[in-house]
Amino acid sequence: MLKPASLAELKAELQTLPQEELLALCLRLARFKQDNKELLSYLLFDAADADGYTAQVQQAISEGFAQINTSTVFFAKKSIRKILRQVNKVARYAANKEMEVALHLHFLQELLQLPHHITHSTVVDKMAHTQHQKISKLIKGMHEDLQYDYKRRLQLIMETYV
């Protein structure tokens, strides 16, 4: 199997290409895979308004949780994992720690508002614990003022869970 070029080699080659070829390559990448198209859409249309995009994603998270089938834990955890995959994908696209913390906090808050028989199942409880650890780790890498705000919000969310 062919080994792909390194990032430095790709960057050097892309700098030598004319604008028309760069445009053609970007469009070809967008057609090739859904993730590439989503990333390109984010970079072109949503990256400039991070707060607005965060609000849109939080709304989508809330809608996803509203549609969860809570009759059985099995179906609920499948839906929860699907929502979490979307949150992780958006966080990876944004590459913004503040947005990532806000999205994961909103996810955790929605998760802990599910019915008691769902949130206290072993799998969902472990998901909540993992999210708590992930958020705490992300918060540690932020500015002190933001750390305080997000730690307080995380604390409030976890207090409602007990």
Surface-to-core class of residue 139, CB atoms within 10 Å of its CB (0-12 exposed, 13-18 middle, 19+ buried) = buried
Average pLDDT (3-17) is: 86
> pLDDT of 52-68, one tens digit each?
999 999 999 999 999 99
Answer for the pair 132, 154: CB distance below 8 angstroms, yes or no: yes
Whole-model pTM: value is 0.85
Surface-to-core class of residue 94, CB atoms within 10 Å of its CB (0-12 exposed, 13-18 middle, 19+ buried) = buried
When computed from its CA atoms, the radius of gyration of the chain, rounded to whole angstroms, is: 19
User: What are the residue boundaries of the structural domains of the chain, listed by start?
Assistant: 8-48, 49-161
**Rounded CA separation 100/156 (Å):** 18
